[in-house]
Homo-oligomer: A and B are copies of this chain.
Amino acid sequence: MEKSLGLNTDLYELTMAQSYLEHGKRGRAVFSLFVRKLPPNRNFLVSCGLETLLERIERFRFSEEEIEYLRGLRLFSEDFLDYLRSYKFSGNIYALPEGRVFFQNEPLIQIEGELPQVQLLETLVINTMHLQVVVASKAVRSVIAAGDRVLIDFGFRRAHGLEAGLYAARASYVAGFGGTSNLEAGRRFGLPVLGTMAHSFIMVFGSEEEAFEAFAESFPDRTVFLLDTYDTIEAARKVVELAKKGIKAVGVRLDSGDMVELSKRVREILDEGGLKETKIFVSGGVEEERIRDWLGRGAPIDAFGVGTKFITSSDAPYLDMAYKLVEYEGKPKVKKSPGKETFPYKRQIIRHYKDAKMDYDEVVPYGEVREGLIELVVEKGKRLKSLPSLERIRETLRRELEDLPEGLKSITDGREYRVLVR
């Protein structure tokens, strides 16, 4: 049995829940997870993380050890600790499927159930969905910029923790990346794992040639040689020399310097040396604007290793994502705090198309329409159907991108998609 997750929440969720129970507030509540406003450099967001969330909600239980910790805080009643001991989510979950794009004020996840049960999940729900939406929505920008070039997640080392690296790899695969360097992500999600060699590898051997030869000896099919440890152009010439000895490079990696100049020169050297099939792989500070710029200037780059900036979503590392009470015992609930207004009721999203492109969305009370983008995925605590594979989720997003108006796909110009909340 996997570790219980009950303490992965904020203290106030528990104090509120105890007080709800003590005051008979066990009515049916609906909480909605949404993003109030998109960051200036995001024209759309990608739904990502639902599968992870459902797994975690199933693990949101309290072990005896956790109950013991809570008792030690001298804050909670024994009745409430008993309630936690038997906690098991038994409500309904309505979700926008993974891989769909969404916009401001649209309900990504809606959770319906007994008030204290649903309140207790707040921190877990936001934390889980926020990370994967942030990363997928960043990664897809590189996918758009790169066109048919391959992108690889190289960000693990500078992700915010091991877990962030793991789920960011998942999110980047959903976004359209070709694989990851992260072995744990490879194992957990069945992702293709890729990698080359580090500068340290080159430096340990007596010469670059020796390092390349040694690596080729160990991995004859994985000969992607790193060129920039000493001098990129010189190293490219060495790769050509090696080919004459029968060691053919599958690819070369450039990790620093002027990527347009270097990739062109390296391409020439490789081509002249008969290595027309050898791919050029670029890493080091890769981000969507750079990809666009480099490719726009004709850089003959075949693949990108995308790292730190994507995995921390450095230009927009968080979203204004909130989990708000919208309905209690059938009555609408709204909050009026300036800049933080909420819309009442459980809701459905209707997407309108024009000339085969998304035109605008309507967000309407759930019962008003027969169907829309939102699906009921958990009913009375039970999953209704198996979730789609990552391959299918990727495909969903790929199709969404086809339907997205060109203006919204821009990685430089901010546009706001129209969302009518009725």
* Chain A contacts to B: CB under 8 angstroms: 5, 7-16, 18-20, 22-23, 25, 29, 31, 66, 69-70, 73, 75, 115, 119, 122-124, 126-128, 130-131, 134, 154, 156-165, 167-168, 181-184, 186-187, 193-201, 203-205, 214-215, 217-219, 222, 228-231, 255-257, 308-309, 312-314, 317-319, 321, 323-325, 328, 333-340
Looking at the assembled complex, report how far the CB atom of A88 sits from the nearest CB atom of chain B, in whole angstroms.
19
Residues of B within 8 A of A66 (CB): 187
Contact A10–B183 (Cβ < 8 Å): yes
Given contacts A126-B157, A203-B325, 17 further A-B contacts (CB under 8 A): A5-B162, A7-B186, A11-B194, A12-B181, A15-B195, A15-B218, A16-B197, A16-B201, A20-B201, A22-B218, A31-B200, A162-B163, A163-B164, A199-B324, A199-B325, A229-B337, A256-B337
Looking at the assembled complex, report how far the CB atom of A259 sits from the nearest CB atom of chain B, in whole angstroms.
12
Contact A181–B10 (Cβ < 8 Å): yes
Looking at the assembled complex, report how far the CB atom of A169 sits from the nearest CB atom of chain B, in whole angstroms.
11
Residues of B within 8 A of A323 (CB): 157
Contact A134–B160 (Cβ < 8 Å): yes
Pairs across A and B, CB under 8 Å, 5 listed: A10-B154, A16-B198, A20-B201, A131-B160, A199-B324
Task: Report the separation of the CA atoms of residues A154 and B309 in the bound assembly, to the nearest whole angstrom.
Answer: 25
Contact A158–B130 (Cβ < 8 Å): yes
Task: Report the separation of the CA atoms of residues A134 and B340 in the bound assembly, to the nearest whole angstrom.
Answer: 29
Looking at the assembled complex, report how far the CB atom of A33 sits from the nearest CB atom of chain B, in whole angstroms.
11
Contact B115–A127 (Cβ < 8 Å): no
> If A157-B122, A197-B15 touch, does A308 touch B312 (CB 8 Å cutoff)?
no
Looking at the assembled complex, report how far the CB atom of A405 sits from the nearest CB atom of chain B, in whole angstroms.
29
Task: Report the separation of the CA atoms of residues A163 and B159 in the bound assembly, to the nearest whole angstrom.
Answer: 11
Task: Report the separation of the CA atoms of residues A251 and B119 in the bound assembly, to the nearest whole angstrom.
Answer: 23
Contact B127–A328 (Cβ < 8 Å): no
Residues of B within 8 A of A131 (CB): 160-161, 164
Contact A183–B11 (Cβ < 8 Å): yes
Contact A200–B119 (Cβ < 8 Å): yes
Contact B336–A215 (Cβ < 8 Å): no
- Minimal Cβ-Cβ distance residue in B for A165: B127
Task: Report the separation of the CA atoms of residues A318 and B314 in the bound assembly, to the nearest whole angstrom.
Answer: 7
Looking at the assembled complex, report how far the CB atom of A327 sits from the nearest CB atom of chain B, in whole angstroms.
10
Contact B182–A335 (Cβ < 8 Å): no
Residues of B within 8 A of A123 (CB): 156-157
